[in-house]
A and B are shown apart, each in its own frame.
Chain A
Amino acid sequence: MEETARPAMTEGRAQATVYRRVTADVLATLERPGLGWFALMALVLTGLAFGALSWIYQIKNGLGVAGYVPPVFWAVYITDFVFWVGIAHSGTLISAILFLFRAQFRTAVYRISETMTVFAVMTAGLFPLIHLGRVWYFYYLIPYPNERLLWPNFRSPLVWDFFAISTYFTISSLFLYIGLIPDIAAARDRAIEGTWRHRLYSMLSLGWQGTDRQWRHYNRAYLFLAGLATPLVLSVHSVVSWDFAMAIVPGWHSTIFAPYFVAGAIFSGVAMVITLLVPLRKVFHLEDYIESYHLDRLARLLLLTSLIVFYAYAVEGFIAWYSGSEFERAVFWDRATGQYAWAAWIMYSCNCFIPMALWSSRVRTSWFWMFIISIFVNIGMWFERFVIIIQSLAHEFEPYMWDYYRPTWVEWGITVGSFSWFFMWFLIFIKVMPSMAIAELKELLPPKLKRQKEKLEGRA
């Protein structure tokens, strides 16, 4: 494989680097947080509080406090839901799929993307509850034996969602955890006896000693989970896309949705990885481990998925025309020219045009520009969901009902809250868990490399 031919680290630096330093550098991230960290934490906690209050206010008064305007019965909450599920994707992609493909460049970044996955799913999982009219009856959605002799409707994509998301959450958090075990052990060994850290690490490391036997089991388990997680990358977002594709709403009812959503998810996911990676690298001085080489690889992935999304948009247009359905045509035309054109064009430019800059390798390897672009892509993908959901509904079958929806402060509040919630967990994580895979980084050091290569050939 091309990646393995080019070691992640240049000779010179490889000489200079010793295992101890790897461990030291990585575990350095766990040291007592600085002022910046507390400042950020304070910020996200405020945001979270705002979001929580908005939600309480909504529960007290009813969903009407959100901006819903029939026929727009779904809006920002579902937009956020799909957005976060999307974010959750690259995680598994980078860690599982690239692992199976032995793409070495993943090593430096997969831990971050995995944690991102878990926290993003945790965030996404809130929205189905937030958008319920009577959240206090949410348990009607859970299949449990009840005195009413009633079950959920297994024909409903929303129930599929329930299972898809929970499965995905279970697997990805397990995957993250297994991957962490050796590093936790490393952390445990350097933690002072009797501190809470030591106690925590000892419990979570499950008595890891780094023996050959443990390593063998570990690799098996990891490989196994990687295999298990890979199909989920496709399944979960396909199911999410069916929330729309299974409906008859023009602009939703389309067979391309599953692949289109998966590509979009990976697109936004990779963007988010970059968004997080860039500052992290700076703050923790991980320049030696996360190099512009990794960035370049991520950028290519971003470009690829951007092209797929671009293609999906084009196909939508084609189908709208080719299907001969006046309703599809009307919706597509309205999307480009109607009252929500502003959102549609934000989406087109952020997802299709701006990423075209990635053809230039100078951009691909520039931390600054990649950061900017990744932000744009995040925005663009949020608007993609906004447009798909709201614009399609607003221009539905019944001309009598056509109307225009505007979000209210409650919806913005809860959206801000969801971002805060996500970053809160992330901030906690980087201070509690090693945010890079120590063991695997070591694997990449020159001496190991030969063996690794042989291992690969042996397997192949």
Chain B
Amino acid sequence: MERRDFLKLAGITGAGTLTACDQKVGPKYLIPYLVPHEDVTPGIPTWYASTCRECPAGCGTHVKTREGRVIKLEGNPESPVNRGKLCARGQAAHQHLYDPDRLEGPKRLDGGRYVDGSWDDSVRALAEGIAGASGEVVLLTGLQTGTLNRFYDEWAADRGVTRVVYEPFAHEPILEAHRRVFGQASIPAYDIAGAEFVISFGADFLETWVSPVRYSRDWAAMHAVKEPGGPAGVFVAVEPRLSMTASNADEWLAAKPGTEHLVALAMANVLGAGGESAGWSPERAAEATGVPAEKIVEMAHRFGGHRSVALPGGVSTQHAQATAAAMAVALLNQAGGAVGDTVRLSPSTSGAVAGSYRAMADLTARMKAGRISAILFAGTNPAYALPPGLGFTDALKQVGLRVSFDPLFTETASWCHLLLPDHTPLESWGDWEPEAGVASIVQPAMTPIRDTRATADVLLAVRRAAAGEPAAAPATAPAGASLEAESWYDYLRAAWSDRAGDEQAWAALLKAGVWTGAVTAAAPAVATPSGDAAGAPTPAESAPLEFGPAEFEGPEGNDAFHLLLYPQIAMYDGRNANQPWLQELPDPATTSSWHTWVEVNGKVAERLELEDGDVVRLESPYGSVEAPVIVYPGVRSDTVAMPLGRGHARMGRYAKHGVNPVTLLPPVSEIHSGALAYQRVRVSMSKTGAWVEPLKAQGSDSQHGRGIAQAVPLAEIIAANGHAADDHGEAAAHHGEPHTRERAAADSGNTSPYRWGMAISVDSCIGCNACVAACSAENNLPFVGPERVAKSRQMHWIRIERYFEDRPDGDLETRHVPMLCQHCGAAPCEPVCPVYATYHNMDGLNVQVYNRCVGTRYCANNCPYKVRYFNWFNYEWPEPLNWGLNPDVTTREVGVMEKCSYCVQRINAAKIAIKDEAPDAVIPDGYFQTACQQTCPTDAITFGNLKDPASRVARLAEGPLAYSVFEHLNTRPANFYLRQVTGRMGAAAEVARAEPEPVAAGADTAAGGGGE
């Protein structure tokens, strides 16, 4: 019962001493502070502005703390990157901080075992190790920007240490391509919001690519139907697999793996670009890619005819033609006149400074040659990320001193002599430059919970210990900041002296969290691709490109498939693998979690007699893995796809699930950019005969015409100018009066000024699951683990239902429906509860009283939306994960039902707060937000008071797109859904419908149905 004690205890105390006690009577002791803490009042949250470091995007965050504990993260509205929103990884960031498997403190390897060491000894050992190094000393860091990046460079220069940067997804091909085309190795700023036509060549910009939260917002702005029923932006995705991003496209062109860029090239050709594209007529491209020629022509005209932008990246820039692919897209942008308009070649977003895979290859070679005598790992985990074929870990054995600064015992750390754990980002000082002219502050939201130390401080200490004379600080050293600094904080502070000199400015900066201004002098330095063996272009880089389909090696024939490896939205490059909320987050495409699966097309599954859960063995010339199949209509039948990021050998108890498909890859880089080619091999697939319970949340991929996710053609809205009919005649055949906003508003007490409700846009929802993670953090949703997920016992109060509709043109249409408690006016769950544990309250909420519930589960049986979740067990919060629990929300015990409460704790807090203004003041629209609404990157969720006709939710509920799910059951839900708008392609779609033949490639991938 520790977690419960902690909650109330934390509610009272600063120092969290725990005492065992009964949940029913609360904690036994009240532990006060020794000295009153100035910005902590027990019971009142304190917010700190900081920066999310779960991926390189650098979203600004507001970190909510209670009694000195981080309990929630929300986006910083001031940040130009994410403007108040966060993705699922951001929402779960504090599980990184509270990871139960974090290193307790410094350790050193002693006779094959790790023993605890003191910081002084460790620093001394490190200093001596570096000083005494006969050969080269390497500081291997992950992607860094801003002050810390400069610090590393400066320190490395000062110590005569080589710095190498390695980031698994560093977009090298894009950098290289732009270096070649525009002479600037940077990722341009793509103005998706401003475009009318967006075409993505493999770039999963709604999931992991460069800055997903920003791009999700921009995409929503671009894609939205401009009122009244006006035109809407169009988005087309060209990639072999229906990624979550592609599933939101108005058209998905499933090009053969490794040929996406040829579509771009042919489009450029149609637009008369000439040059490299000259040879690529639509016909030739069509033959190579499987995308019909007239589609290519149509897209080209669309691209030329509108304010357009083409995005390179993702799986399409990770094959043997990666650089060519990125270049083809760049050429298309140029040909379409996008460059300088929707594509701005500013000095880069943070993708730029990462090193390449080739740098690691060189490093490995040097290690093998025994030229390296010490290596320091900071914020990177190559032992996990690199293909074993490279022999990196073997090479490590040649290195005399190996040091890891990672807070976790990662695969890389497990090869190290010294473990000097750094703070996690939420305990750290620092800053981050998401893009030139924008700097986001990283400030600690709580004191370190482990005996950890900032790596920069350790490095400074090393320097002091060595007491060496400082070599001339390189030009990149910012004014004021020097290695003479007492501590990393002083260094950082000094680095900011020009931008936030006096204490006042500094305090203001910490409050705001982000700084925007003119591009600093330092910025251009950011843009040079560091980390390569040498700064100068190697011969390979200047070698001329020739365009063509990327070659894949490996078995041929019927049972051989192109292997498509992609960064999964929750796991990204694997750094988040030990965060249980993210492990349990359903994958947007397959609704699967906790393991690594193999996506197989329905047709193939039929041919090989595979079904969900069948374990198959994939064999490439370089290795083999075994993983269960998930039948997924969104992958071509000549391809199988696997997510990256799981299957850790080390790192922690949650990270071990799944397999690491990198073992299938050849240790070769794409020649021009030096990037690792993730799409490089074909694999043979064979049944092992084993079967595991499929960890797939979704029962049926089809909504069987039940009108859960309704849609309406754009043309129809414009024509009907208001009343749009849905496309599920029978499902929505209303019995009795239709459900309207007024009717819903009437479902609360006459004396109450409120009837809380939601408007949820199926059209805007991209299925990213950020809301799920946000809800987990806000409402203490437990994670239940794979064996329970297998029994569909996950506890997500909100879930994204992903339904496929077969379009007349044979293409797949995906609809994402956030499903949560509908807070029905006539809730079927209420009358059946024998003890009034669930009932309708004055404000129209459907309340669940946990402590009254005896667990008959009748309510869940009777809920047509199936949004009630039962505590089958007492779920564990291993110390210190429980420190992140929200003290304003009861943690539920075994045997009780729970469900979405519309964040009733926030409603009640608002009611108390509003009283400060006037005793009878009514909460105004937008006074507070629910957790899911707050974080939704596309603002698909609107929460508010249905009784107030002026509120946003009321206006949406009265809009032409509004409908309610299972309306004919007359449950009178408080959630209004807004129909998906289809047919943005307009006339183009008509053409496709007219002749389904040419889209065989598309049809082929669409076939096979899902799961059912």
Contact = CB atoms under 8 A, between A and B. Distances in A.
Contacts of B921: none
Nearest to B730: A326
Interface stretch (B204-212, B276-284, B554-562, B859-867): B859-867
B833 A401 contact: no
Contacts of B706: 326-327, 397, 399
A55 to B, nearest CB: 14
A310 interface: no
A231 interface: no
Interface residues of A, number: 47
B700 interface: yes
Interface string B685-716: 00000000000011110111110100000000
Contacts of B819: 398, 400
Given A64-B872, A156-B831, A150 B854 contact: no
Interface in A324-358: 326-327, 330
A301 interface: no
Interface in A216-254: 243, 246-249
Contact of A70 (B803, B870, B969): B870
Given A62-B873, A64-B873, A397 B895 contact: no
Nearest to B697: A400
B792 A397 contact: no
B872 A398 contact: no
A63 interface: yes
Given A134-B894, A137-B854, A399 B700 contact: yes
B854 A134 contact: yes
B877 to A, nearest CB: 16
Interface in B823-882: 828, 831-836, 852-858, 860-862, 864-866, 869-874
A237 to B, nearest CB: 18
Contacts of A246: 832
Contacts of B862: 247-249
A388 interface: no
Nearest to B591: A400
B119 interface: no
A330 B855 CA distance: 29
Contacts of B894: 62-63, 133-134
B864 A63 contact: no
B515 interface: no
B699 A401 contact: yes
B788 interface: yes
A326 B860 contact: no
Residue from the set B703, B704, B832, B874 with the largest chain A CB neighbour count within 10 Å: B832
B659 to A, nearest CB: 25
A152 interface: yes
B860 A156 contact: no
B610 to A, nearest CB: 18
A69 interface: yes
B499 interface: no
A134 B730 contact: no
A159 interface: yes
B704 A393 contact: no
Interface string A180-200: 000000000000000000000
A248 B862 CA distance: 6
B957 interface: no
A330 B792 CA distance: 22
B801 interface: yes
Contacts of A70: 791-793, 860, 866, 869-870
Contacts of A248: 828, 862, 864, 969
Contacts of A403: 699, 792
B865 A158 contact: no
A334 to B, nearest CB: 11
Interface in A372-414: 393, 396-403
A68 interface: yes
B360 interface: no
Give the bracket for the number of chain B residues in contact with chain A. 35 or more
A131 B858 CA distance: 11
B910 interface: no
B622 interface: no
Interface in A43-74: 61-64, 67-71, 73-74
Residue from the set B819, B861, B969 with the largest chain A CB neighbour count within 10 Å: B861
A134 B855 contact: yes
A414 to B, nearest CB: 16
A176 B56 CA distance: 79
Contacts of A140: 834-835, 852, 854
Contact of A63 (B703, B834, B855): B855
A155 B792 contact: no
B870 A141 contact: no
A133 B853 contact: yes
Given A141-B834, A157-B832, A247-B862, A133 B856 contact: yes
A68 B698 CA distance: 17
B896 interface: yes
Given A69-B791, A133-B853, A155-B831, A398 B861 contact: no
Nearest to A326: B730
Contacts of B699: 399-403
B163 interface: no
Given A63-B872, A68-B791, A398-B864, A158 B969 contact: no
B827 to A, nearest CB: 11
A159 B895 contact: no
A132 interface: yes
Contact of A133 (B791, B831, B854): B854
A136 B366 CA distance: 67
B985 interface: no
A128 B896 CA distance: 16
A137 B871 CA distance: 15
A391 B792 CA distance: 16
A153 B871 contact: no
Given A64-B793, A133-B853, A141-B854, A397 B861 contact: no
B836 A153 contact: yes
A73 B793 CA distance: 11
B861 A73 contact: yes
A397 B698 contact: no
A156 B858 contact: yes
A284 interface: no
A62 B871 contact: yes
B866 A74 contact: no
A400 B699 CA distance: 5
A71 B874 contact: no
A132 B966 contact: no
A138 interface: yes
A133 B865 contact: no
10 nearest A-B residue pairs (beta carbon)? A133-B855, A64-B872, A133-B895, A402-B699, A134-B895, A399-B700, A73-B857, A158-B834, A62-B894, A156-B834
21 contacts: A63-B895, A64-B788, A70-B793, A70-B869, A74-B861, A132-B856, A133-B854, A133-B894, A133-B897, A134-B853, A246-B832, A248-B862, A396-B866, A399-B704, A399-B803, A400-B700, A400-B708, A400-B819, A401-B866, A402-B700, A403-B792
Interface of B: 697-700, 702-706, 708, 730-731, 788, 791-793, 799, 801, 803, 819, 828, 831-836, 852-858, 860-862, 864-866, 869-874, 893-897, 966, 969
Given A68-B870, A152-B834, A326-B705, 12 more contacts: A62-B872, A62-B874, A64-B788, A134-B896, A138-B854, A141-B834, A153-B835, A158-B858, A162-B834, A247-B832, A248-B828, A397-B706
